[in-house]
Amino acid sequence: MRDPTGGTDLEERCERLEYPVMRADAAAAFSDVTVAVGAEETNLGVVISESDRDSFANPEELYTQLTESVGEPL
């Protein structure tokens, strides 16, 4: 994972948001995070923006959405 915040783990980053959080706000908060998934890189902001959810009630919902969307633990 390439994270310009200095290596903050994704669960911590999810916890720093205020909940409930709207999809667009969550996407903006992760727009600078790119993870390696297989041989490709995936931007987590894009992953969130393409979610079918309008909002996330808590950090666990957001983290679960991220891991399910990329298909592997982050």
Instruction: List, for residues 25-63, the tens digit of each pLDDT value.
Output: 999 999 999 988 888 899 999 999 999 999 999 999 999
pLDDT of residue 6: 42
pLDDT of residue 2: 40
pLDDT bin (cut points 50, 70, 90) of residue 8 is low
CB 60 within 8 A of CB 49: no
DSSP state for residue 2 in the 8-state scheme: B
Residue 50, helix vs strand vs coil: coil
pLDDT of residue 4: 43
pLDDT of residue 46: 96
Q: Which residue has the higher pLDDT, 65 or 37?
A: 65
CA dist., res. 6 & res. 55, Å (int): 27
